[in-house]
Amino acid sequence: MYMIKLIAYILVIVGALNWGLVGLFNFDLVAAIFGDMSIMARIVYSLVGISAIIYLFMSYNNLND
């Protein structure tokens, strides 16, 4: 369970940093690395979204403890 939390946390941070770069500098790091809406970029975006959902549920469970 620790590993899932760690991976989800890292991917959420990657997504947040990417959105920060988009908002501040109009620079999409994921698209720059993998290509604009390439298969790999779509996979990264999907994994970031799934990780956010996982992290949301795990954080909610921590509030109830």
Res 20 pLDDT > 70: yes
Instruction: Report the pLDDT value the prediction gives residue 49, as an integer from 0 to 100.
Output: 95
Res 10 pLDDT > 80: yes
Instruction: Report the pLDDT value the prediction gives residue 58, as an integer from 0 to 100.
Output: 83
Res 27 pLDDT > 80: yes
Q: How many domains does the chain have?
A: 1
Neighbouring residues of 10: CB distance < 8 A, sequence distance ≥ 6? 51
* Domain assignment of residue 43, given as a range: 2-64
Q: Closest by alpha carbon to 45, among 20, 4, 11?
A: 11
